[in-house]
Structure 1
């Protein structure tokens, strides 16, 4: 896995933290942690989007976040288990994995931008 996809994966995992934080934070310290997680998550996604296709990055990021948040809510916070919900999340995650598999990675030899410049 190259560094850019690791950024997407880590950003998706951090998204699970901040989405749960939005629902469950009660103290100033918890809210501060949630805000830091939001900033870290989006920083990682922006960095990955500089070198990978934006649509695929966003789909993978939100898929990890959605599936992980549903799982975390059921496991950690007592959300009721529903077979239909789990099956639909499985379909979502299968699509995310499929997108990752069919998307060409950028050249890992250089982390420099791809040379696409906007000229005025």
Structure 2
């Protein structure tokens, strides 16, 4: 479940980053702020079960890769072979971090 929170946060990050760039009205800015709050709430929930460094690395890496792709697909940004190469490196890194991370098991209070 913790990895789903990270995935949710990364997906929502795409929306609030676009909102930071393109918001013009109060309602658009309000939507951007709500997206930021939801994204960071999901990160906080993920950090309850996963190491913070792992969560942050996966969140920022996958979010950055997704934002570059969305920018290319929907906003006519330039996409070069080098950008694709480095996005691939980010994706490989995110997969590697996930494969080598262990979810923490909460210790019950009063237990040893």
For 2:99 and 2:17, the matched residues in 1 are separated by 27
* CA-CA distance at 1:95 after TM superposition: 0.2
Unpaired segments ≥5 residues, structure 2: none
For 1:42 and 1:97, the matched residues in 2 are separated by 21
Higher share in helix: 2
**Alignment of structure 1 residues 77-96 onto 2, 5 Å:** 77-96=75-94
For 1:94 and 1:21, the matched residues in 2 are separated by 28
TM-score with structure 1 setting the length? 0.85
Q: CA RMSD in A?
A: 1.5
* CA-CA distance at 1:116 after TM superposition: 8.8
Change (3 A) 1:15 1:116: farther
Unpaired segments ≥5 residues, structure 1: 108-113
TM-score with structure 2 setting the length? 0.91
**Alignment of structure 1 residues 6-25 onto 2, 5 Å:** 6-25=4-23
Which stretches of structure 1, 4 residues or longer, exceed 6 Å deviation after superposition? none
Local SS of the residue matching 2:24: coil
